[in-house]
A = this chain, B = another copy of it.
């Protein structure tokens, strides 16, 4: 099965993209709601959590892993790839490839959590593939709690988004990477505040396309995956608010199963 983990609920935007782009595959999701958020925490703590989450998914039957969390993808990919012998997907590289393909003037903006932006991973990966690019990054740490609270259409959220995006707008970026699984939920406000001519790159769609291409290219691995259209959702903590946010992210009601880590 395909195993997907995230720091919490936001990673369900990636589940939604996978279900749309490659329907039928069985999925196991783990959201680490008992320790969410990751974006404000240190590298070593996030690596430890990513390893534990991967072990949990493998125990539940995962044979490939999608790190839907940008913060974990930024700091823990190497540790996870070294430790686990199976296909591991992170959300950074697919978004970088799509951004480079999309951008005309190679003025690329990146927004994410403090942990993701501090890691410098987007900038590094963009410049490896397109050394003429200019990359402008800015952390937007309050957007995760705003989404978690369901403040998606509130004027305060629009003001905060505008404030965060101002330095990128000034730099006249033509492409903006949403470097956090929560941000697709704010996509329309982000588009409005950055300007309608800026192309927005949604890493959840980018990673889903990468996984589809990988499975097309690796029929031996593809045939080992079960395809009964089932999806299992585990979380390390459960509250009414988490259930509401899950519904917003996935655009449908689901059953979350509580497991203690």
Chain B residues, CB < 8 A from A48: 260
| A41 and B142 within 8 A (CB) | no
| B45 and A41 within 8 A (CB) | no
| B238 and A42 within 8 A (CB) | yes
Chain B residues, CB < 8 A from A35: 34-35
Cβ contacts A116-154/B at 8 Å (1 or 0 each): 000000000000000000000000011001101101000
Known: A35-B34, A142-B151, A145-B142. A237 touches B156 (CB 8 A): no
In the assembled complex, the Cα of A174 lies from the Cα of B159 at a distance in Å of: 32
20 example contacts (A-B, Cβ-Cβ < 8 A) are as follows: A33-B41, A34-B35, A34-B41, A34-B45, A40-B239, A40-B241, A41-B237, A41-B239, A42-B237, A45-B236, A45-B237, A114-B241, A141-B145, A142-B145, A142-B149, A142-B151, A145-B145, A156-B156, A156-B159, A156-B160
Chain A interface residues toward B at CB < 8 A: 33-36, 40-42, 45, 48, 114, 141-142, 145-146, 148-149, 151, 155-156, 159-160, 163, 236-239, 241, 260
In addition to A141-B149, A159-B159, 19 A-B residue pairs with Cβ atoms within 8 Å of each other are: A34-B41, A35-B35, A36-B40, A41-B237, A42-B237, A42-B238, A45-B236, A45-B237, A48-B260, A114-B241, A141-B145, A142-B145, A142-B149, A142-B151, A145-B145, A155-B159, A156-B156, A156-B159, A156-B163
Which 8 pairs across A and B sit closest by C-beta, in order of nearness?
A: A145-B145, A45-B237, A41-B237, A35-B35, A34-B45, A42-B239, A42-B237, A156-B159
